[in-house]
């Protein structure tokens, strides 16, 4: 007789299970972060308190959280759709920057009347990001190049395009030679909610994007086709579903939403085009995780985007309160991710401890985890 762990597979984890395990893994991540703080000579309890107050503790804290949540949610909704189709769009960062570029062009250089600036920025910004994404679809469909590679590499192309513009043709007249464009005219600024810095319009967009993508996935034929393609392209083909068209549309949509997020950042936060690393705080990459943690459910994305917005904003509060090295924030993010990813196993496999007689034949999972 001996004790052994037995691992059995769960077919479909329940919603409460997903929630409970996710929260548990977050708490564990915070517990381990506490050790890190103790190591840095900061009371973990004090650190938790600052983090909580900094992310949720006041209207201001919430507004800072929501400010970060907006681009994550808009991009994340599109990525959720794309991941449901097993199209791995890693290029939201670049698609977002293209949106920012197009929006900047409209704001600074288009001949449009002031009242049309904002609508045009968002529409053309969407198209810019969408076409940037669709280019990767074209590469995949016509040239059989994996979209992970193209979307990833196009991020760098987009970032360098921003650099070229702010250092070259679009460098502002009023910025003393620094690498920025001139500020946008006031008509191209998004109105913010009250005294916060949360732009009202993109805040609404975040919810609209989630609802639209959810509706698209669950209530339309296209959503069904898309999910079939996601489960198996061959099966989709046999069922007469044009997989290539689905791939193209999915990248068009997720790229376009990222483009809208990019316009939102330049017209809502910066009011100019500046260094790509300052326009986007890695939103395009973080949104991948946001969509993944929401298990590619666009409504779930709202929750996970809020969570990551809170992480970013709480970490700001930590930086301000303790003057800790900014790299510590990367460790904190890493811990959260590590625990969330590790918890995945707990969702799909049940681990039980049981007494097994000697000589019992080991099954597959036993061998793995004995």
Interface with another protein (CB under 8 A): 16, 19-20, 23-24, 27, 45-46, 48-50, 52-54, 56-58, 60, 64, 67, 163, 167-168, 171, 176-180, 183, 197, 265, 269-271, 274-275, 277-279, 281, 316-317, 319-321, 323, 325-327
Smallest distance from the beta carbon of 183 to another protein, in angstroms? Answer: 7
Cα torsion angle, 61, 64, 68, 71, sign: positive
Closer Cβ to another protein, 58 or 345, answer by number: 58
For the chain, first and last CA: distance in Å?
Answer: 14
Smallest distance from the beta carbon of 272 to another protein, in angstroms? Answer: 8
- A 10 A CB-CB count for 95 gives 37
Closer Cβ to another protein, 115 or 195, answer by number: 195
Cα torsion angle, 55, 31, 290, 258, sign: positive
Do 157 and 23 form a contact (C-beta atoms < 8 A)?
Answer: no
- A 10 A CB-CB count for 357 gives 7
Closer Cβ to another protein, 16 or 115, answer by number: 16
Closer Cβ to another protein, 221 or 327, answer by number: 327
Closer Cβ to another protein, 4 or 183, answer by number: 183
Return d(Cα 317, Cα 267) in angstroms, integer: 25
Closer Cβ to another protein, 33 or 89, answer by number: 33
Closer Cβ to another protein, 72 or 213, answer by number: 72
Smallest distance from the beta carbon of 197 to another protein, in angstroms? Answer: 7
Smallest distance from the beta carbon of 49 to another protein, in angstroms? Answer: 4
> What phi and psi, each to the nearest 5 degrees, are found at residue 5?
-80, 135
Smallest distance from the beta carbon of 121 to another protein, in angstroms? Answer: 17
Closer Cβ to another protein, 204 or 320, answer by number: 320
Task: Give the tokens for residue 188.
Answer: 């191209």
Smallest distance from the beta carbon of 124 to another protein, in angstroms? Answer: 22
Closer Cβ to another protein, 43 or 218, answer by number: 43
Smallest distance from the beta carbon of 57 to another protein, in angstroms? Answer: 6
Task: Give the tokens for residue 133.
Answer: 């994404």
Smallest distance from the beta carbon of 137 to another protein, in angstroms? Answer: 30
Smallest distance from the beta carbon of 126 to another protein, in angstroms? Answer: 22
Closer Cβ to another protein, 54 or 256, answer by number: 54
- The DSSP bridge pattern shows strands 349-356 and 2-9 to be antiparallel
Smallest distance from the beta carbon of 234 to another protein, in angstroms? Answer: 39
């Amino acid at each position: 007789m001996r004790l052994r762990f037995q691992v059995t597979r769960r077919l479909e984890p329940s919603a409460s299970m997903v929630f409970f395990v996710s929260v548990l893994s977050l708490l564990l991540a915070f517990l381990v972060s506490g050790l890190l703080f103790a190591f840095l000579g900061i009371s973990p309890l004090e650190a938790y308190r600052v983090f909580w107050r900094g992310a949720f503790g006041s209207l201001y804290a919430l507004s800072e959280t929501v400010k970060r949540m907006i681009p994550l949610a808009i991009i994340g909704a599109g990525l959720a759709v794309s991941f449901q189709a097993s199209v791995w769009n890693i290029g939201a960062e670049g698609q977002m920057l293209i949106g920012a570029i197009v929006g900047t062009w409209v704001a600074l250089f288009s001949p449009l009347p002031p009242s049309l600036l904002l609508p045009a920025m968002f529409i053309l910004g969407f198209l810019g990001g969408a076409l940037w994404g669709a280019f990767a679809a074209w590469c995949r469909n016509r040239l059989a190049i994996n979209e992970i590679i193209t979307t990833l590499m196009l991020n760098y192309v987009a970032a360098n395009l921003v650099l070229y513009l702010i250092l070259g043709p679009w460098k502002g007249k009023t910025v003393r030679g620094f690498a920025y464009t001139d500020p946008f005219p006031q008509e191209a600024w998004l109105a913010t909610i009250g005294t916060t810095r949360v732009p009202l319009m993109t805040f609404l967009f975040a919810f609209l994007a989630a609802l639209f993508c959810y509706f698209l996935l669950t209530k339309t034929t296209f959503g069904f086709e898309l999910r079939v393609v996601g489960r198996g392209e061959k099966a989709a083909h046999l069922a007469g579903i044009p997989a290539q068209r689905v791939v193209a549309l999915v990248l068009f949509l997720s790229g376009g939403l990222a483009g809208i997020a990019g316009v939102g950042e330049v017209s809502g936060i910066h009011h100019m085009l500046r260094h790509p690393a300052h326009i986007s705080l890695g939103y395009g990459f973080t949104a991948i995780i946001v969509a993944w943690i929401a298990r590619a459910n666009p409504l779930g994305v709202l929750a996970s985007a809020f969570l990551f917005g809170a992480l970013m904003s709480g970490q700001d509060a930590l930086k301000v309160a303790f003057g800790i090295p900014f790299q510590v924030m990367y460790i904190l993010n890493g811990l959260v991710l590590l625990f969330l990813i590790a918890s995945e196993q707990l969702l799909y496999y049940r681990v039980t401890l049981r007494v097994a007689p000697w000589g019992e034949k080991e099954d597959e999972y036993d061998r793995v985890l004995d």
